[in-house]
Chains A and B, each alone.
Chain A
Amino acid sequence: MPVLEVKNIRKSFDGVQVLKGISFGLEKGKVLSIIGSSGSGKTTLLRCMNFLEHPEEGQILVNGQLLFDASRPGALSDAQLRANRLHFGLVFQSFNLFPQYNVLDNCTLAPDLLARDKAKAEGKPFDKAAAHAANVEKAKALLDRVGLGAKLKNYPCELSGGQQQRVAIARALALEPDILCFDEPTSALDPELTNEVLRVIKGLKSADTTMVIVTHEMEFARHVSDHVIFMADGVIEEEGDPEQIFTAPQSEKTRSFLAKSLEKL
């Protein structure tokens, strides 16, 4: 059974249809890259999956559980929406770290709050110190994994863009999402900082980390993905395994996009 199923997602802004019926599935532990030119709807698709946008049509299922169904009447409750979002993690193009918290606190803030909410919902007494200590241990391990174990007490403004993005990755992982999404994670970075982030993402690949990556880094998409979707004008123009997409694209639009993206000057 696929961990993620997206069915016939449609979304428009001010009457302009940005997503015109997107469907795909993703198996656990696989990496999906979504490529395509700006304005093709890649980012909107990712935002729909994280419930930051609400599609007019379509369904989203995680582990077979129907999280979102546009045809169901009424809006999702706030609590339901938050529960849904926790299935997904999102790493933003612009990092969006919390500037007033240090690296470690950025990674423990949300887990601490969730632990408290969970204890309250179950009616159990909440041991704040113990929950925090556990979250700190977990965050430290994750920050080690992204190579920032020595920067725990630094503030985001003291880090390079690449380091900030690696903190953002650790912050997203701290909530153990089923699917980790990346929205052009290196687009805001200088070229020499891009690779350190891509290396970290590549290092996350494992049997139980499922990832969806919207990216303009074609070489990266080709080497790290198990599956590639090429989007154009709000539809999936072509999809397949990376070798096929990058070496033998079927669609004219894919060919022309790849030719422009991979063009050597």
Chain B
Amino acid sequence: MSFLQVTAQLWSGFQTTLYLFFVVLVLSLPLGLIFSFGSMSRFRPLRWFTRFWVWAIRGTPLMLQIITVFYVPGLVFNTPMKDRMLACLVAFVINYAIYFSEIFRGGIEAIPKGQYEAGQVLGMTRSQIFFKVVLLQVIKRILAPISNEVISLVKDTSLARVIAVTEVLKSAQDIVNGHAIIWPLFYTAVFYLAAVGLIQIVLGLCERKLAYYKG
């Protein structure tokens, strides 16, 4: 197989990687915010429920979670999951939402009480205080840990191959198996590095955008 042919095949796998990455990112960030409200709730059963899921999801490998989402519906409820991509998305979104929720919680709890009180004495509603006063400060504080997770996500998408979703690493593996050449496997690193480099530039811009104030 020529270099160009390999590149074309890896690129088609990489599109799946990118699809997985963007969909998971777009869905897990807001879901994570909702989870973080759950784990900070004053309503204890809700807090325990959320904390239980934080423990369960953080306590098991993502690979196992993907396998579970894909096979358990068929094994237990006799309704086999047909869509491999969907199974991946469900597992990834829940997993990343849980990790994001812990970062959000840390960021929200780090905002001084005085910011809320200042909003209160100025007659603002709870949601006005959250969206107009607190949120941007939280985003500034959590940008670095969120960046870590986002970058991990790019590489974690490779776990999708465990249920035979053909992302970039699996398409390389297919070439290796079919053509008795091994270098396409290492070539995938270029795709990951390019994606992560781009993400680093974007997140760096966000960080600079928020550097106009301190505190």
Chain B 100-144 against A: per-residue CB contact (8 Å), 1 yes, 0 no? Answer: 000000000000101101111111111010001100110010000
B179: interface (CB < 8 Å): no
- Since A90-B121, A99-B137, A175-B122 are in contact, a sample of 17 more A-B pairs with Cβ atoms closer than 8 Å, ordered by chain A residue number, is A78-B125, A78-B126, A85-B120, A86-B123, A89-B121, A96-B112, A96-B118, A98-B115, A100-B137, A100-B140, A109-B132, A110-B119, A113-B124, A155-B214, A156-B215, A157-B213, A175-B123
A59: interface (CB < 8 Å): no
Q: Do A100 and B136 touch (CB < 8 A)?
A: yes
Q: In the bound complex, how far is the Cα of B133 from the Cα of A113, in angstroms?
A: 12
A94: interface (CB < 8 Å): yes
Q: Do B128 and A156 touch (CB < 8 A)?
A: no
Option from A52, A113, A171, A172 in Cβ contact (under 8 Å) with B120? A52
When distances are taken between beta carbons in the complex, the residues of chain A under 8 Å from B214 are: 99, 155, 157
Evaluate whether A110 and B117 lie within 8 angstroms (CB atoms) in the complex, with A99-B214, A100-B136, A100-B213 already known.
Answer: no
Q: Which of A41-87 contact B (CB under 8 A)?
A: 50-52, 78, 82-83, 85-86
Task: Tell me the smallest distance from the CB of B102 to a CB of chain A, in Å.
Answer: 24
Q: How large is the interface on B (under 10, 10 to 19, 20 to 34, 35 or more residues)?
A: 20 to 34
Q: Do B117 and A92 touch (CB < 8 A)?
A: yes
Q: In the bound complex, how far is the Cα of B120 from the Cα of A83, in angstroms?
A: 11
Nearest to B140 among chain A residues (CB) is: A100
**Chain A: how many interface residues by the 8 Å CB criterion?**
28
A114: interface (CB < 8 Å): yes
A88: interface (CB < 8 Å): yes
Nearest to B115 among chain A residues (CB) is: A96
Selected A-B contacts with CB under 8 Å, 12 pairs = A52-B117, A52-B120, A92-B118, A94-B114, A96-B117, A100-B137, A100-B213, A114-B123, A155-B212, A156-B213, A156-B215, A157-B214
Task: Tell me the smallest distance from the CB of A3 to a CB of chain B, in Å.
Answer: 18
Chain A 99-125 against B: per-residue CB contact (8 Å), 1 yes, 0 no? Answer: 110000000011001100000000000
Q: A residues near B, CB below 8 A?
A: 50-52, 78, 82-83, 85-86, 88-90, 92, 94, 96-100, 109-110, 113-114, 155-157, 171-172, 175
When distances are taken between beta carbons in the complex, the residues of chain A under 8 Å from B137 are: 99-100
When distances are taken between beta carbons in the complex, the residues of chain A under 8 Å from B114 are: 92, 94, 96
Evaluate whether A113 and B128 lie within 8 angstroms (CB atoms) in the complex, with A98-B115, A100-B213 already known.
Answer: yes
Task: Tell me the smallest distance from the CB of B114 to a CB of chain A, in Å.
Answer: 4
Q: In the bound complex, how far is the Cα of B115 from the Cα of A22, in angstroms?
A: 28
When distances are taken between beta carbons in the complex, the residues of chain A under 8 Å from B132 are: 109, 113
Evaluate whether A110 and B215 lie within 8 angstroms (CB atoms) in the complex, with A92-B117, A94-B114, A98-B115 already known.
Answer: no
Q: In the bound complex, how far is the Cα of B119 from the Cα of A110, in angstroms?
A: 8
Evaluate whether A82 and B125 lie within 8 angstroms (CB atoms) in the complex, with A98-B133, A113-B132 already known.
Answer: yes
Q: In the bound complex, how far is the Cα of B141 from the Cα of A100, in angstroms?
A: 12
Q: In the bound complex, how far is the Cα of B114 from the Cα of A92, in angstroms?
A: 8
Nearest to B132 among chain A residues (CB) is: A109
Option from A50, A109, A157 in Cβ contact (under 8 Å) with B215? A157
Q: In the bound complex, how far is the Cα of B129 from the Cα of A85, in angstroms?
A: 15
When distances are taken between beta carbons in the complex, the residues of chain B under 8 Å from A171 are: 122
Task: Tell me the smallest distance from the CB of B206 to a CB of chain A, in Å.
Answer: 14
Nearest to B215 among chain A residues (CB) is: A99
When distances are taken between beta carbons in the complex, the residues of chain A under 8 Å from B215 are: 99, 156-157
Task: Tell me the smallest distance from the CB of A60 to a CB of chain B, in Å.
Answer: 15
Task: Give the interface centre of A51, A82, A99, A100 by most chain B CB atoms within 10 Å.
Answer: A100
Option from A50, A94, A156 in Cβ contact (under 8 Å) with B121? A50
Q: Do B123 and A110 touch (CB < 8 A)?
A: yes
Q: Do A85 and B123 touch (CB < 8 A)?
A: yes
Q: In the bound complex, how far is the Cα of B214 from the Cα of A160, in angstroms?
A: 13
Option from A82, A96, A99 in Cβ contact (under 8 Å) with B123? A82
Task: Tell me the smallest distance from the CB of B74 to a CB of chain A, in Å.
Answer: 48
> Which 6 pairs between the two chains have the least Cβ-Cβ distance?
A110-B122, A99-B215, A96-B118, A96-B114, A157-B214, A90-B121
